[in-house]
Structure 1
């Protein structure tokens, strides 16, 4: 049973010394909070705004615990010479009956970035490219210290092929799309990249901006060492070409290591295959509504790409 905002406010009070809640509301995507946790925005007596997140099952609890360790490490890297954006800074946690811990951090502000609103040239597109470039330059030992999972380029390619096999087994993916994706994934030459720390699940609601600045990246439960293209996928499929070019150009200038030339194609592939994950999610839950939604989007994509190769 989901925990109510009032219950979550009480947990926040227990987790953060001196926090005296005067109000609470359910947190949503506009607050940079995903659907795999119970969450609330809590107002303190001093006017400060907090976010409290509580796991819904043991799996989400384990991810939240690991995320807290990573966030403390990344928070120390923020600044002019490090990460040009904030991450949630865990202010406290409290154990839950039945296992797991509720985690509390300050509300970071900013609004979700809609890639369709990005424009070419200086501004938010450039700031986004810089933010991702700085993230992907974080030393690999940070991931090792936290114990994040990691995948080589070949392992990443093999995981993508398994994903496509599962998609094909549903019989719901247009053959033209499967062919397009399989050709791109089987081309080993496209999968020669240097793995780096990636957020792993960037979507508009997890990238928060204020005007032309990226102010925060949130929801780090899927962070890992892997393909940098995964963090660019949502932009590759959602932004207009000129804006995407600006993001990629600024990203390349920012990175210490020159990105491989197949990065844009892999980002496009990852963005398209996200529809398969939505389909498989619906199949696992036996949710006809989710399956129908995914199938409709796959058909639209098939009509848009017209059988072209990536």
Structure 2
């Protein structure tokens, strides 16, 4: 189940398994067009599989099931099941290799697919604009706002380059076998932007030495980390409620608005 698509699985009369994505709202269709073009761009450039949309319409997107199983899944009770241990060096190495390939994709070619493109000098102004927009509609806890403003003001935390990113690459969007990544799902949030976007989940969920394994492989493959990338990743992940606030404003759905409000101004313990 996703925020933008309902997802189901089917099997053809020949026994082939397929994934069926059904749009939840009309506004996701334009983004899906961009996502489809991006998949065509990255597919031959990555050593892992990505969806091959063989059915594309306003009512349905469908593609053959990709190899592997999700690195993370949710239980019916809302709990988390990890297929890959959070301290897996094998997974970290595979992620570093994958991101080196993805971040090397030509940004101009990515721009022609229609994904958003941000130059390095635009990263902080965009984040600041997002903060102000969310603050105009939601209450933000003072401690959170102070942390985010300090992050925006610290020149040394920010990269001097942007790359093509997946946008939400974490275990639930990676399929694995034997802790190695076999496929990457859900490219809706892809953009040319801050490289840390694709590293922040691992940086915040894995031990430091495991994150360093990913950085070693990322660097060996041509990736360009910077000295304070781990701090930057942590600050970026802490700002995730801002992204949810923007999503709630975009959809206008009360369920998302209530969840965003709780994340932006969580109750304090008495």
TM-score under structure 1 length normalisation: 0.73
- Residue 245 (structure 1) shift: 2.1
- Residue 280 (structure 1) shift: 5.2
What corresponds to 2:8 in structure 1?
A: 40
Indicate which of 294, 300, 304 corresponds to 2:263. 294
Indicate which of 211, 225, 229 corresponds to 1:263. 229
Asked if 2 retains the 8 angstrom alpha-carbon contact of 1:197 and 1:223, the reply is: yes
SS of the residue corresponding to residue 58 of structure 1 reads coil
What corresponds to 1:73 in structure 2?
A: 41
Distance 1:253 1:35, change over 3 A: same
Alpha-carbon distance in 1 for matches of 2:132, 2:198: 23
Distance 1:36 1:165, change over 3 A: same
SS of the residue corresponding to residue 101 of structure 2 reads helix
The one-character-per-residue Cα deviations of 1:28-57 (angstroms, maximum 9, x if unpaired) are 4xxxxx231133211011111011223233
Query: How many pairs were matched up?
Result: 256
Indicate which of 105, 119, 122 corresponds to 1:155. 122
SS of the residue corresponding to residue 62 of structure 2 reads strand
Alpha-carbon distance in 2 for matches of 1:92, 1:282: 29
Q: How does 1:99-114 map to 2 (within 5 A)?
A: 100=58, 102-114=60-72
- Residue 292 (structure 1) shift: 6.2
Asked if 1 retains the 8 angstrom alpha-carbon contact of 2:130 and 2:246, the reply is: no
Distance 1:298 1:107, change over 3 A: farther
Does residue 173 (structure 1) correspond to residue 136 (structure 2)? The answer is no
CA-atom RMSD, angstroms?
A: 2.6
TM-score under structure 2 length normalisation: 0.83
Q: How does 1:21-36 map to 2 (within 5 A)?
A: 28=1, 34-36=2-4
Runs of 5+ unmatched residues, structure 1: 1-27, 29-33, 78-82, 301-310
Distance 1:145 1:165, change over 3 A: closer
Runs of 5+ unmatched residues, structure 2: 73-81
Distance 1:296 1:113, change over 3 A: farther
What corresponds to 2:178 in structure 1?
A: 211
SS of the residue corresponding to residue 76 of structure 1 reads helix
Alpha-carbon distance in 2 for matches of 1:193, 1:230: 14
- Residue 120 (structure 1) shift: 5.5
Structure with bigger RCO (C-alpha 8 Å, 6+ apart):
2
